[in-house]
Structure 1
């Protein structure tokens, strides 16, 4: 993903518990021990922003990825839980700093944070300025009104002539544009792409029939569907279509911290903590088998 927002046997949506915990106390948050291997892997010349602490920028946008707790100030959900475990392996106190999505690149480059965890997808363009430690699959979903006759949206021809809501400046928008181009070249009807800043207006567009579907981050849309029951999943697509895509903890280019964080993530994968956190937030379907440092990212536009 490049921004905020976001059938039977063919597709799998996360099965959300109605009892997800959004309290500021987070009594069931998983913790782990300091790892000497991880601590020793920190580059000798790397200087953390604060002594004894791990300062991480995060964009609290929507559950179950990251959001504000019921006190409207504590950041909770999957990303905060995972980065807490990483911080534990470093033997450091975690300091989460809420930021706007648009601000993370400059804030990280200027040294305000040691790292950023904010559903950032690995791309070749971003790799020119940042290093990455992958931790989750980037999966997008098509959601339609619960009683919609549409049952499957999984390839370009399926969306021909439809009105689809998506998020500007994101991978999902780029995919829709590419699919629409293929359709038009094949003589099919064009797609009408719609954008809404307000989630309530977006929901109204689906309810009223002004839009046929929403194409956005699958985990976010699945959570929303589980809460209001007004939409249903009719197809999933990799966020990097036609390649696969993964989201990653992001660090400054050449700082050397990415390898350390990748080591931490792989320890958490091996000891089961990683999968426990995914399960806690109903995201097990987006698990990776192995964390990687700077894997091949989504290609640059036009390449």
Structure 2
């Protein structure tokens, strides 16, 4: 993973600088020009390769599983929410600084191809995807969403890869490992609001309170580049994040190290899933599409090129046990 990832790091760094300056909208064209002028040729070539779409053939079993006259958000399209901004390898930007690429984009394309549909992407924030699904703004969301008991009460899920979480600290931190609640006592932990890692952290905080251990303070940053800077500057002690994102930054110049690794459903298992409106009629069709792409090797091809080949599932499931079960 590190060979591929390191060559794309330059782009992530440039975009992060603009995000930190708080002027992403007004300088997006400047980012692209600076990137093209200063990026080494081999970096451009690698990013261009990962921008090339990976397609699959239509899956007749999946197509036939779509109910007749089922209303799609956009006729003839599989409309999918992806995370906005720069969050490699989940989602990032191509050389033109506007075309979304990444794991979720590639997986969404495989599903669309399998269903005989075109793909329409809608960038959105983590906070907004639940309302977007409920309101029918898109057919599905692929935003590194793992299955949980609470989410299943509101949405349907079709799994497509394994979930993993990482705990990262600055390279000069005295923290050597984090495996359980006591290891975060007295620490300031960066975590995303509404995520499974936040739920794990809050459970740990309750556990430590009952044990009489020092307080843990959750720290919230919506922007990952800001979170890394806070960790490096000593304004936080631990960064609790999906492992792909944390590892990407660790291997691309961020002065951090990983001291903990958990399954996304800790203490049990949970997988990442296509998220749909509750009782969606597309669930069976999408499951057949994902299973077909697992069997024909296309899912491995996608995850491998983003450094996550070990997260390929043996098969897709609809609404399996998840976090909190």
Is TM more than 0.5 here? yes
CA–CA separation in structure 2 for the residues paired with 1:25 and 1:211: 33
TM-fit CA distance, 1:24? 9.8
**Aligned to 1:40, which of 64, 70, 83?**
64
1:19 is aligned to 2:2: no
Determine if the alignment matches structure 1 residue 126 to structure 2 residue 151: yes
- Selected match of 1:258 from 261, 272, 283: 283
Query: Displacement of 1:233 after TM fit?
Result: 0.8
Residue 146 of structure 1 contacts residue 229 of structure 1 at CA under 8 Å; is this kept in 2? no
**Worse overlay, 213-222 or 181-190:** 181-190
Query: Equivalent residue of 1:174, what SS?
Result: helix
Query: Do the aligned residues in 1 keep the contact of 2:83 with 2:126 (CA within 8 Å)?
Result: yes
Residue ranges of structure 2 left out of the alignment (5+ in a row): 9-45
Q: What SS does structure 2 have at the residue aligned with 1:101? A: coil
Alignment check: 8 A CA contact 1:16 1:223 kept? no
State the number of aligned residues: 286
Shift of 1:105: 2.2
Provide TM-score, normalisation by structure 1: 0.86
Measure the CA separation in 2 of the matches of 1:97 and 1:252.
16
Contact kept, 8 Å, 1:134 with 1:246, in 2: the verdict is yes
Q: Which structure carries more helix by proportion?
A: 2
Aligned partner of 1:98 in structure 2 is: 123
Question: How far did residue 182 of structure 1 move?
Answer: 1.5
Q: Does the CA-based 8 Å contact 1:24-1:74 persist in structure 2?
A: no
Alpha-carbon deviation of 1:58? 1.7
| Structure 1 residue 135 corresponds to structure 2 residue 160 | yes
Q: Distance in 2 between matches of 1:231 and 1:41?
A: 46
RMSD of equivalent CA atoms: 2.2
Structure 1 CA distance for aligned equivalents of residues 223 and 301 of structure 2: 33
2:274 match: secondary structure: strand
1:250 and 1:258 in contact (8 A); partners too: no
Matched residue SS, 1:118 = coil
Give the structure-2-normalised TM-score: 0.81
1:8 is matched with none
Report if aligned partners of 2:170, 2:232 keep a CA contact under 8 Å in 1: yes
